[in-house]
Structure 1
Amino acid sequence: MKTNALRQTILTAMFLAIIVVQELALSFLPNIQLTFVLFMVFATVLSPAHLVMLVVGYVLLDNLLFGSFNYFVVVPMFLAWGIYVAVSYGIRYRSIHWKILFSALFGLVYGWFYLPFTYLAFYQGVPNALLMLLSVDLPFGMVLLVNNLFTMLALYHPLTALIKSLVGQSIL
């Protein structure tokens, strides 16, 4: 295995541990997390293949630890995080304004990835069920939007600088 590939794999494992631990530590607060900003930061230093491994590892561990391992949760989670990380990788050289805007708006619509699956699992045939599910999700989406806005504003630059400095050192 090449040295760079080995370093990327080690970084991916370390970043996965960071994401899972912070989510567990903040799990008592609904929709308050650092996951979005961390994925955005990690997209600046990892290759696309390692970002895919990070998303797969995160989704599997999250579902194992929180006990929600069924396809009504796993499939939309893979879709949402896959899209988020792919776009984050695509805009990694853009200005911070684009990254903040994308992260905040994605926080609003993140829950919408689950709506069709929730509808199919529990609400088929219920009149106006999708509208009801959307209205119930809206306050949580707004919390996630605000959370992503402030965490991106406060943490993106310092975390990116820290990660890039660590990646540049020979210890990683």
Structure 2
Amino acid sequence: MRRLLLLDDDPLILHALQRTLRQCKFDVELRIEVFTDPAEALVRAAEIDIDLAISDYHMPAMNGIQFLNRFRQIQPDAVRMVLSASTEFNTAVRAINEAEVFRFIPKPWQWEELQQTIVLALARRDQNVALTLEQTSLSAQELALRKLEADEPGITKVNWGADGSVQLD
């Protein structure tokens, strides 16, 4: 099961998005959570893992870039997308640069394109999680090496000879 968070200040847009997503064919079950209030969406994001967050850009309390930037701080591995009727180049650039969004989806959306974008976003989420796990395990390995070196100074340092032999000092 994958979890999507949808945020738009217009409930009609949220209902339309949900209807569109029900038409799409995905290999996994999608659990969709909808919010009209960015603050409530951030509270929920702190409670559960979200795979993908899609936010409207123009909202009264906080714009989509601000929301997704805060969301990124809570869930850095989740994929973020902006949904907007705005076609301003600067808006898209800010979304990419500030909130590190994966895609900028124009309103009105095409359901086939939205489906394909969500499939790509979920694949990106898997890559993000794998990378984080890899970095975490490397950090754990580095910590283990440092502890070993602290307990037995010089044990992790090997002097190799030109012929591949170990040089003892």
- Taking structure 1 as the reference length, what is the TM-score of the superposition? 0.36
Higher helix share: 1
Compare relative contact order (CA 8 Å, sep 6+) and give the higher one, 1 or 2: 1
